A and B are shown apart, each in its own frame.
Chain A
Amino acid sequence: MKPTRLRATLTGVALVPVLVWTLFPIYWITTASFKTELALYAKPPQWLFTPILDNYSRVLTNIPFFQYLKNSLVIAIGTTLGSLVLGTLAGYGFARFHFRASEAVRFLVLVTRMAPRMVLVVPYYLMMQRLGLLDTYTGLLVAYVSFALPFSIWLLIGFFVDVPLDVEEAAMIDGCSRLGVLLRIVIPIAAPGLVVAAIFAFLVSWNEFLFALILSGVEAKTLPVVIAGLNTDAGPLYGEMSAAAVMVMLPNIVMTLALQRYLVKGLTLGAVKG
């Protein structure tokens, strides 16, 4: 069925409110971050204005933004590395070795993702308190790797299964160990899968709020907690809050656009293939 021109036009018209609804909040906070105090509170709302960078410079100087950025980055990169190493090993294990109940275990891996985080965070807090790991990178890192890992494993199984078996077998005949095969043959071939898994793991950590709110005090505070704080302490500071929000969401937007080819595969993982 080839859609008529009328149909295409109607679809285009229907898309306008959809796109406004979807993109307006992002547009509005982005422009707000470049407005003066006067323009922010102007009535009617200002659509055309001279952009300024004051909000950004104020965020960067009034709060230790770079310290929080460093916290967020270190924890996110650690999460990425941790879940990649463990996820690659386990993903390859699932893809290449079949044992009794391997299907069930694989499913159990996915089930761990379903426990509400609030249930985990309270006992986790008490445990970290005993271990003296409250407000440390380690405390958050361990939790975030466990959040990202099920997804990494499932995603990587899909990529590893597609690596041709005979290439692996040929390498093993040439005297390559299993681990050698994984490192020298499988990983290079499945590199796109690892990139996707890495980016998702990074975002899991970058976006996380609840654990960061409860476990971090001053030292390990991450950016989402900082933004929520700007929102409530002593009345919202819209200019600075917007600037901080834009800086925090920038990596997400860039990664989403870069990843778009893999989004369908990644996010609907398992759900659609059946």
Chain B
Amino acid sequence: MAAGRAGRWFLLPGLVFLFAIDLIPLAYSGWVSFYNWWLVRPRDVRFVGLANYARFADDPEFTRAVVVTTLFTVGAVLVEFLAGLGLALLFAQPIKFLRPIRVLLLLPLFVVPVVGATMWRVIFHPELGVLNYYLGAVGLGPLPWLSDPRLALVSITLVDAWRTIPFMFLVMYAGLEVLPAELFEAAAVDGASRWQSFRHITVPLLTYIMLLAILIRGMDAFREFDIIFVLTGGGPGTATQTIQILNYRAFGLGHMGEANAIGIVTLIIVAVMCFVLMRAILRPQGARS
């Protein structure tokens, strides 16, 4: 294998570009977060230390955003995980007609997120929507999908699930595909039931991938923006205002110090999640090699 010297001319352009575009804004963001900086008053920028951060401690709006973000993330990931696992098991069966159908299941993942959210806005429409028409016809509706504070959170979770169940499905399906078939055959010979071989072979061997899928999705759901922005914009009131939407609003109001401070807090939370993820990835690798 070649020595490292010549390799740098291949590696440097991409790496320098990548780290410059990511790290310079992050460092700048950290710096701005210590200032009282309004976009409309560029001459009146004052250093305020940690004041932008200290505000979060007793700001009910921020606390509320943390709660909403947590509810949304946990709810979405839970639904997506269970549905994805179920589908992966369904599609792992050696049944012929499943193969051509597989790709249809993946389509939502590739639809432009804004377009996907738009579809659901049409479906959820209180008077004109197809969903409320048929719910009404069977006596269950109409329901205020996006205008009731509690239901709105459920609705955005459902739309997020629609879009990303395919991801969960794909990761776990790929995991199931590489499980050695002999194990299951041996278990069947020994008289193990389907449930037993799922519980004692599939689950232990798939734990690593399940964990990985949950963590990746967890980080993605935590920073979801497009769907919530299009469906509710954070409303009604602050019912679906996640940290990301709050951050966008602080930016929209021109409060750069606070917007950047929220960003840095988000970054820290995601970094912790990322750290957990890396440990989960690196540990089994170390154990294997």
Contacts and interface: CB of A to CB of B under 8 A. Distances in A.
Interface in A6-54: 7-8, 11-12, 14-15, 18-19, 21-26, 28-29, 32, 40-41, 43-45
A112 B18 contact: yes
B278 interface: yes
Interface stretch (B52-60, B70-78, B86-94): B86-94
Interface of B: 1-4, 6-11, 13-15, 17-19, 21-22, 24-26, 28-29, 32, 87, 90, 93-95, 97-98, 101-116, 118-123, 128, 130, 133-134, 137, 162, 166-167, 170-171, 173-175, 177-178, 184-185, 188, 208-209, 212-213, 216, 219, 222-223, 225-226, 229-230, 233, 244, 247-248, 251, 256, 259-260, 263-264, 266-267, 270, 274, 278, 281, 284-285, 288
A2 B110 contact: no
Given A86-B14, A89-B14, A123-B26, 8 more contacts: A24-B123, A43-B133, A45-B130, A90-B13, A149-B17, A153-B14, A209-B225, A267-B171
Interface residues of A, number: 99
Contacts of A14: 90
Contacts of B259: 122
A136 interface: no
Interface of A: 1-3, 7-8, 11-12, 14-15, 18-19, 21-26, 28-29, 32, 40-41, 43-45, 86-87, 89-90, 92-94, 96-100, 102, 105, 107, 109, 111-112, 114-127, 142-143, 145-146, 149-150, 153, 178, 182, 203, 206-207, 209-210, 213-214, 223-224, 227-228, 231-232, 236, 238, 241-242, 245, 248-249, 252-253, 255-257, 260, 263-264, 267-268, 271-272, 274
Given A209-B113, A231-B121, A109 B18 contact: yes
Most buried by B among A19, A93, A119, A253: A119
A32 B137 CA distance: 21
Given A41-B128, A116-B270, A272-B171, A149 B14 contact: yes
B270 A114 contact: yes
A234 B230 CA distance: 15
Helix, strand, loop or mixed for chain A's interface?
A: helix
A251 to B, nearest CB: 9
17 contacts: A22-B166, A23-B107, A25-B108, A44-B133, A96-B7, A116-B222, A116-B223, A117-B223, A120-B26, A120-B263, A122-B29, A149-B17, A203-B110, A223-B112, A228-B229, A271-B174, A271-B216
Contact of A119 (B8, B267, B278): B267
Contact of A109 (B6, B15, B94, B244): B15
A126 B3 contact: no
A97 B26 contact: no
- Please indicate which of the listed interface residues A117, A122, A252 has the most CB atoms of chain B within 10 Å of its own CB: A122
Contacts of B109: 267
Given A1-B184, A209-B226, A19 B101 contact: yes
A18 B83 CA distance: 10
Contact of B4 (A8, A98, A182): A98
A224 B17 contact: no
Contacts of A267: 109, 167, 170-171
A256 B17 contact: no
A203 B167 CA distance: 16
Nearest to A82: B17
Contacts of A89: 10-11, 13-14
A51 B24 CA distance: 52
A126 to B, nearest CB: 7
A197 B191 CA distance: 46
Contacts of A214: 251
Contacts of A22: 104-105, 107-108, 162, 166
Contact of B212 (A99, A231, A271): A271
Contacts of A232: 233
B128 to A, nearest CB: 6
B4 A99 contact: yes
A36 B216 CA distance: 42
B22 to A, nearest CB: 5
Given A116-B244, A118-B223, A127-B28, A238 B95 contact: no
Given A11-B98, A97-B6, A119-B29, A224 B15 contact: no
